[in-house]
């Protein structure tokens, strides 16, 4: 796909062709091309929210699916996410000013004692790509760090990541503390990391274990949709 890139003048493409081209450019991690295309669509009068959902999120969905299916790997996904962030950076202030609806909000961090952050960063980027607002607490988070953040940010979702068998039990410490404080059911708790599995997620009282970033996005959408439906039903 990248070979043909030199011949294409983005501004000459129709809207439909340009969006298709953006899917390809996201897939190939071409940040400058994505930024140019976003600006072209804005100049043509597209709403920021439509550019986000139809072009950027649409393109990242293809990337996420191929990542889940083992067709794309971490370096390519990081490049795609970086290109996506380039487009998001242009749209972010416009989206805030036009009051476009967000899909939901997540606070996420790697647990205490653990400094692995590549997977967490990928999850954050894919969640942002899917329209979620993400507050990233970084690595080595103790209970208080999570609790302070959820109190201050009031997210829909608390996400925790652990890559070590020695640090994954700390997720239960966080969830148990939430139970003690009577706030466990106020949040959707999603957990992930290579040594975890579904049984572990259930055993510690999380709402779901997410195998990878694409599953995290799908799971988050499902749970947030369910929560909003429950609220609407009163």
Question: Would you tell me which residues interact with ligand B1M (CB under 6 A)?
Answer: 74, 108, 113-120, 122-123, 159, 161, 163-166, 190-195, 210, 212-213, 216
How far apart are alpha carbons 141 and 117 in whole angstroms? 12
Nearer to ligand B1M, 1 or 118 (CB): 118
Nearer to ligand B1M, 40 or 150 (CB): 150
Q: How far is the CB of 161 from ligand B1M (least distance, A)?
A: 3
Q: How far is the CB of 84 from ligand B1M (least distance, A)?
A: 15
Q: How far is the CB of 114 from ligand B1M (least distance, A)?
A: 4
Q: How far is the CB of 164 from ligand B1M (least distance, A)?
A: 4
Query: For strand 208-210 and strand 132-136, is the pairing parallel, antiparallel, or unpaired?
Result: unpaired
Nearer to ligand B1M, 58 or 113 (CB): 113
Contact 188, 106 (CB under 8 A): no
How far apart are alpha carbons 22 and 55 in whole angstroms? 7
Nearer to ligand B1M, 22 or 72 (CB): 72
How far apart are alpha carbons 97 and 44 in whole angstroms? 19
Nearer to ligand B1M, 37 or 167 (CB): 167
Q: Give the dihedral of Cα atoms 37, 38, 43, 45; nearest 10 deg.
A: 120
Q: How far is the CB of 110 from ligand B1M (least distance, A)?
A: 8
Name 137's Cβ contacts closer than 8 Å, sequence gap at least 6: 107, 108, 109, 145, 146, 149
How far apart are alpha carbons 136 and 158 in whole angstroms? 10
Report DSSP state, residue 159.
E
Nearer to ligand B1M, 80 or 210 (CB): 210
Nearer to ligand B1M, 93 or 169 (CB): 169
Q: Give the dihedral of Cα atoms 195, 59, 95, 30; nearest 10 deg.
A: 90
Computed from CA positions of residues 226, 105, 220, 149, in that sequence, does the dihedral angle turn out positive or negative?
A: negative
Q: How far is the CB of 186 from ligand B1M (least distance, A)?
A: 17
Q: How far is the CB of 120 from ligand B1M (least distance, A)?
A: 5
């Amino acid at each position: 796909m990248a070979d043909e890139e030199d011949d294409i003048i983005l501004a000459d493409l129709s809207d439909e062709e340009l969006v298709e081209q953006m899917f390809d450019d996201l897939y190939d991690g071409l940040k400058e091309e994505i930024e140019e295309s976003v600006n072209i669509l804005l100049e043509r009068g597209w709403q920021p929210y439509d550019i986000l959902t139809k072009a950027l999120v649409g393109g990242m969905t293809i990337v996420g699916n191929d990542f889940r299916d083992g067709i794309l790997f971490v370096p390519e996904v990081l490049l795609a996410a970086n290109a996506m962030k380039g487009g998001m950076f242009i749209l972010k202030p416009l989206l805030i000013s036009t009051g476009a609806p967000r899909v939901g909000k997540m606070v996420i961090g790697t647990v205490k004692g653990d400094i692995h952050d590549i997977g967490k960063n990928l999850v954050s980027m894919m969640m942002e790509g899917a329209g979620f607002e993400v507050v990233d607490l970084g690595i080595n988070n103790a209970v208080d760090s999570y609790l302070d953040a959820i109190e201050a940010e009031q997210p829909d979702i608390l996400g925790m990541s652990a890559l070590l068998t020695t640090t994954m039990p700390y997720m239960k410490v966080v969830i148990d503390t939430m139970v003690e404080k009577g706030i466990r059911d106020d949040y959707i708790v999603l957990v992930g990391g290579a040594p975890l599995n579904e049984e572990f997620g259930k055993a510690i009282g999380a709402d779901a274990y997410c195998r990878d970033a694409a599953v995290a996005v799908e799971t988050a959408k499902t749970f947030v949709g369910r929560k909003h439906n429950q609220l609407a039903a009163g």
